[in-house]
Amino acid sequence: MSRVAYVNGRFVPQRGAAINVEDRGFQFADGVYEVWAVQDGVLLDEDGHFTRLARSLRELAIERPMSDAALRRAAFETLRRNRVRTGLLYLQITRGVAPRDHAFPRPGVRPTVVMTAKGLKLEDSDARAAKGVAVITLPETRWARCDIKSVSLLPNVLAKQAARAAGAYEAWFVDADGLVTEGSSSNAWIVTADGVLVTRPLTANILAGVTRAHLLRCAELLQLRVEERAFTPAEAKASREAFISSASSHAMPVVRIDDAVIGDGRPGPVAQALRRTYLETT
């Protein structure tokens, strides 16, 4: 079945879908995005992603292109037209089209809105989670406002590619203090030797993962001990468990970091329980 994209109020065949060459998203990566996991036709953590979208737009002073209600209608119509019941919904909003100039265009330029949907099988993600994934560590090379979900993702792209080249699934950035910030497209977690769940607190140098917030609620349900603090790669390598979180991977167990095997090299019980609870509480 051919895919359909939403582009500025119209549904068009994705193969031919296009934006203006002077779109500021293309010229300057001057835009923001969101990704929702879709399950049985439901947008997981629907409100959390819309709230973060509104914040990203506000932080970059990009005008809201349409009401939340209209965005949501377009989102569900994009899913319907692509017959996606389980998969991902992608939304990008840029500052719009204007003659190329670094400074913002005059007021009134309409933001560009694009949505696409992709079907995925939950079983593929479950199969990956059953084996666990490998992570590499890399120096942090991103800007100081990683809390904004901007489409400016070049360091993330390079980090993910380095991971793939090393036969790993994800790369964790390590800041100048020697602490893990987050993954190239996920938040980072460990379970210490004495069973404490640890993830970095929310500051400007990581994205406030919507899945991260949901998993913290799951941790409460499971009565886990939680510490929001940064950790080093050395602590992670000596930990009992590690995992990553994102809308597309939920909670994904990590069984190797660089050359270190985590725990007994198999997905740990805390990561598995959180993954299960996450999927049960959506």
3 state SS of 250: strand
Q: Which is nearer to ligand PMP, 209 or 233 (CB)?
A: 209
Shortest CB 220 distance to ligand PMP, Å:
17
Token pair for 116: 């696409």
Query: Using CA atoms, how far apart are residues 230 and 198, in angstroms rounded to an integer?
Result: 8
Binding status of residue 181 toward ligand PMP by CB under 6 A: no
DSSP assignment letter at 23: B
Q: Which of 273, 230, 238 is nearest to 257 (CA)?
A: 238
Shortest CB 1 distance to ligand PMP, Å:
26
Q: Which is nearer to ligand PMP, 4 or 44 (CB)?
A: 44
Binding status of residue 185 toward ligand PMP by CB under 6 A: yes
How many residues bind ligand PMP (CB under 6 A)? The answer is 13
Q: Which is nearer to ligand PMP, 95 or 214 (CB)?
A: 214
Residue 38 belongs to what H/E stretch? strand 31-39
- Give the number of C-alpha atoms closer than 13 A to the C-alpha of residue 105, restricted to the C-beta side: 20
Binding status of residue 219 toward ligand PMP by CB under 6 A: no
Torsion of CA 125, 128, 130, 131, to 10 degrees: -170
> By CB under 6 A, which span of 64-72, 77-85, 183-191, 260-268 interacts with ligand PMP?
183-191
Q: Which of 121, 131, 149, 160 does the annotation list as catalytic?
A: 149
Shortest CB 168 distance to ligand PMP, Å:
16
Q: Which is nearer to ligand PMP, 200 or 256 (CB)?
A: 200
Candidates 150, 187, 205, 272: give the one binding ligand PMP (CB under 6 A).
187
Q: Catalytic site residue 149?
A: yes
Binding status of residue 56 toward ligand PMP by CB under 6 A: no
Candidates 32, 35, 219, 230: give the one binding ligand PMP (CB under 6 A).
35
> By CB under 6 A, which span of 115-123, 194-202, 203-211, 231-239 interacts with ligand PMP?
203-211
> By CB under 6 A, which span of 90-98, 192-200, 220-228, 239-247 interacts with ligand PMP?
239-247
Q: Mark residue 269 as left, alpha or beta (left: phi above 0; alpha: psi -120 to 50; beta: remaining).
A: alpha
Chain residues 242-281 in contact with ligand PMP, contact rule CB under 6 A: 245-247
Binding status of residue 209 toward ligand PMP by CB under 6 A: yes
Query: Three-state SS string across 78-135, please?
Result: HHHHCCCCCEEEEEEEECCECCCCCCCCCCCCCCEEEEEEEECCHHHHHHHHHHCEEE
Shortest CB 143 distance to ligand PMP, Å:
12
From the number of C-beta atoms within 10 Å of its C-beta (0-12, 13-18, 19+), residue 128 rates as: middle
253 close to 129: Cβ distance less than 8 angstroms = yes
Q: Which is nearer to ligand PMP, 4 or 182 (CB)?
A: 182
Q: What are phi and psi of 235, to 5 degrees?
A: -65, -40
180 close to 172: Cβ distance less than 8 angstroms = yes
Give contact residues for ligand PMP (rule: CB under 6 A).
35, 182, 185-187, 207, 209-212, 245-247
What residues act catalytically? Answer: 149
